[in-house]
Amino acid sequence: MELNQIKPGAGSKKDRRRVGRGIGSGLGKTAGRGHKGQKSRAGGYHKVGFEGGQMPLQRRLPKRGFKSAQLKYNGEVTLTDLERLGAGEVDLLTLKAAGVVREIIRHVKVIKSGELTRKVALKGIVATAGAKAAIEAAGGSVEAVAAAAVKPGKLVGKGAKSSAVAAGKSA
């Protein structure tokens, strides 16, 4: 076999339809578009979902639910990620520095996916029951997340505005 003998497979090449080129072609005159009507005209076809002026289905049905803006601040880490990380003590800053979670993430949860053989100590990170059991079985520990302290300048209760603002200015 020579290179000049190579041909495309049978039926793999098909001639392009040359429409509007005379009666003999079989696609002359109306060029396969039929007679008159919107679909026969140039640029004449409705947009997707258009129902001829009737209220379309996607507008007849009500909207449902919403996407929480808080989701972008929450991240999840698997046991496999912790295994690859190789750090003994893991907190949010460690995960961000290693590129396991994005910088925008504020809260992380460890989920049980994969295996963990290293000893890992979680600080300020939540873990599911299965993940916690796997971490403790590998000799690690999970430290409970402390409640967030009130930031200076934030309102604590009714009438606390002046004292909170004063505390924020003095700090």
Assigned domain for 135 exists: yes
Assigned domain for 15 exists: no
Entry pTM: 0.50
Q: Compute CA distances 145 → 8, 92, 153, whole Å.
A: 67, 11, 23
| Domain with 100 in it | 71-143
pLDDT tens sequence across 116-166:
888 999 988 899 999 999 999 999 999 876 655 545 555 555 655 555 555
Residue 129's domain is classified under what CATH number?
A: 3.100.10.10
- Tell me how many domains the chain contains: 1
Counting runs of H as helices and runs of E as strands, what totals does the chain give? 5, 6
Assigned domain for 95 exists: yes
Per-residue pLDDT at 10: 94
Assigned domain for 59 exists: no
Per-residue pLDDT at 152: 54
Asked if residues 77 and 107 have their Cβ atoms less than 8 Å apart, the reply is: no
**90, 94, 95, 97: CA torsion to nearest 10:** -160
Asked if residues 126 and 108 have their Cβ atoms less than 8 Å apart, the reply is: yes
Asked if residues 144 and 123 have their Cβ atoms less than 8 Å apart, the reply is: no
Assigned domain for 104 exists: yes
Assigned domain for 13 exists: no
Does the structure show a pLDDT above 60 at 170?
no
pLDDT tens sequence across 12-34:
999 999 999 999 999 999 999 99
Contacts of residue 48, defined as CB under 8 A and 6 or more positions apart, other chains included, come to none
DSSP, residue by residue, 84-108: HH--SEE-HHHHHHHTSS-TT--EE
Assigned domain for 1 exists: no
Question: What stretches of 3-156 show up as alpha helix (H) in DSSP?
Answer: 57-60, 79-85, 92-98, 129-137
Q: Work out the average pLDDT over 65-81.
A: 90
Assigned domain for 109 exists: yes
